[in-house]
Structure 1
Amino acid sequence: MTIIFGHRGAAGTHPENTMPSFQAAIDLGADGIELDVHLSKDGIPVVIHDETVDRTTNGTGYVKDLTYAELQQLDACFLFPEWSGKASVPSLEQVAEWIRPLNVKLNIELKNDRIHYGQIEEKVISIIGKYTLESRVILSSFNHDSLVACYHISPHIERGALIHERLYQSWEYAKTIPAASVHPYYLSADQSMIAESQAHGVMVRPYTVNDEQMMKDLMKAGCAGFFTDYPEMAVRIRKSLKNG
């Protein structure tokens, strides 16, 4: 079965990387959620996509220059004014506590490919362990050195290598990290790449898949999973293919 991850929650219909978005994704039937983590000025793993707060909140400045308390004061409603005052920047621990009793997966993207955050791997993995989420978490990053660091800290937590361009024999590259999965940009993941990678034991989960026909094609190809801003569409398509 192709696993459906709500990208930044249900980012097509809710403020991305916020608790309302994560809850919506699960309510809509997603098998898991994907989120992004930076470190605040005081070293707290916080859930936000960009290096700055400018795009998704009513604040300005770099995440690394704001304390967690300062980040909590921001309105993160983004493109959805109806959520104003109800959507804030959550901490990773807040999400971990919420997801613990739920039977869903959690993909944590470490956003350290542009800014170096000291000990982000240790801090994130500590929270994963505190809430016993090791078997349900995938750690992903474009910074593959960071994934190697994660392997040395906690080898039993799955790692997914994010890649933007197509790699020659991506399954062989993934094994050097080692990573159990590759998460390619959707245009870099054709059926041969998916089939060959998965035949060699490396799962493929493209991002960000919002086209209905592409969702159908990935499911028919037996793709391990994908990330989408519209989990409700993906769930509907998967049900129709199953019933058809």
Structure 2
Amino acid sequence: MTKIFAHRGASGQFPENTMLAFEKGMEAGVDGIELDVQLTKDGRIVVIHDERLDRTTSLKGFVKDTTYDVLKTANAAAGRDRAYSDVKVPLLEHVLEYAEKKEFLINIELKNSVIRYEGMEDKVLEAVKRFKLEERVILSTFNHESLALCGRLAPHIERAVLTSDVLYQADHYIKSIPASGYHPKLNSPGAADEVVRKMRNSSIKVRPYTVNRPEDMKRLFDAGADGIFTDFPAKALALLKDK
């Protein structure tokens, strides 16, 4: 059965990468959540997608140039309804503390392909281990060197290759890192039905992103995708239930 991941939480309806969005995703009944992490100026692991603060928060500038004490004062629902004016940018530990009391998967995307945050891998792994969530975490990133480093530091934690490009002999490439998951962009050749089936035969878990249209959801369910990342988890769960 295809697993449903709430992409940045239930971000189609609620402010992305916030505790509210994650909680709403869990209320919908998802199998897991997906979130993005970066490092603040003082080395704290914060949950936010963009390198810049401008799009999703009330602040401007780069995450890397902002201390957590400043960042935690920001509203994390920029452009959303005023009802979300008290929503904040969470620390990774806030999400892991919430997850510790539940039973769901957590895909942590390391946002270190644009800005190479020094020591990010160690910090994230330390947090995952501290909350004893190693068996429920999937680490993914577009920075495949970072993924290989995670494999050396914590070989028992699942890793997934994140890509928007075509990979030559993708199954061999993924295993060479080594990783066991493949997260291709929905509209890339990597998310085609025949690739999903081939990867499954290679024991590689395929979870395309970001799958928001019902017709794409149904196609991937039928192809046997191991999971999908969607902004609208309730919609995906309803379709999967009717399958």
What CA distance in whole angstroms lies between the structure 1 residues aligned with 2:135 and 2:216? 29
Q: Report what 1:207 is aligned to.
A: 209
- The residue correspondences of 1:163-202 to structure 2 (distance < 5 A) are 163-188=163-188, 189-202=191-204
Deviations 1:35-94 (A, max 9, x none): 000000110110000001000011101001111111100001133224433311000001
For 2:107, what is the secondary structure of its paired residue?
strand
Matched with 2:64 is: 64
Which residue in the other structure is 1:152 paired with? Answer: 152
Distance in 1 (alpha carbons) for counterparts of 2:86 and 2:104? 24
Distance 1:198 1:173 in 2: 15
Structure 1 position 234 matched with structure 2 position 236: yes
Runs of 4+ in structure 1 over 4 Å off: none
Per-residue CA distance 1:100-152 (angstroms, 9 max, x = gap): 11110000000000001111000000000000000000000000000011011
**Distance in 2, Cα, partners of 1:52 & 1:142:** 18
Give the partner amino acid of 1:31: D
Consecutive unaligned residues of structure 2, counting only runs of 5 or more, are: none
Report the residue type matching 1:81 in the other structure. Answer: D
Within the alignment, does 1:103 sit opposite 2:106 as a pair? no
Q: Secondary structure of 1:192's match? A: helix
What is the aligned residue count?
241
The answer to whether the 8 Å contact 1:35/1:108 transfers is yes
Q: Which amino acid aligns with 2:58?
A: N
| One-letter amino acid of the counterpart of residue 176, structure 1 | S
Secondary structure of the 2:155 match is coil
* 1:154, distance to aligned residue in structure 2 (A): 0.4
Which TM-score applies when normalising by structure 2? 0.97
Tell me the amino acid that sits aligned with residue 91 of structure 1.
L
* Distance in 2 (alpha carbons) for counterparts of 1:170 and 1:119: 28
Tell me which of 224, 227, 242 is aligned to 1:225.
227
Q: Do the aligned residues in 2 keep the contact of 1:49 with 1:111 (CA within 8 Å)?
A: yes
Provide the aligned C-alpha RMSD in A.
0.8
- Letter of the 1:196 partner, please give it: K
For residues 216 and 200 of structure 1, the distance between their equivalents in structure 2, rounded to whole angstroms, comes to 23
In the alignment, the residues of structure 1 paired with residue 172 and residue 108 of structure 2 have an alpha-carbon distance, to the nearest angstrom, of: 23
TM-score norm. by structure 1 comes to 0.97
1:38/1:63 contact within 8 Å kept: yes
Q: Give 2:54's aligned residue.
A: 54
**Aligned mates of 1:103, 1:186 — CA distance in 2:** 27
CA contact (8 A) 1:74 1:89 kept: yes
CA distance in 1, matches of 2:25, 2:99: 12
Match of 1:131 in 2: 131
The aligned amino acid for 2:99 is I
Distance in structure 2 (CA, Å) of the matches to 1:76 and 1:31: 25
Would the aligned equivalents of 1:15 and 1:83 in 2 still touch at CA under 8 Å?
no
Find the aligned partners of 1:168 and 1:186 in 2 and give their Cα distance.
Answer: 17
CA contact (8 A) 1:77 1:83 kept: no
Letter matched to residue 173 of structure 1: Y
State the identity %: 46
Q: 1:105 & 1:83 partners in 2: Cα distance? A: 29
Contact 1:112 1:143 in 2 (8 A): yes
Q: Would the alpha carbon gap of residues 83 and 112 (structure 1) be closer, same or farther in structure 2, given more than 3 Å must change?
A: farther
> Could you tell me how far apart the structure 2 residues matched to 1:187 and 1:113 are?
21
Hey, what's the Cα distance between the residues in 2 that align with 1:198 and 1:103? 25
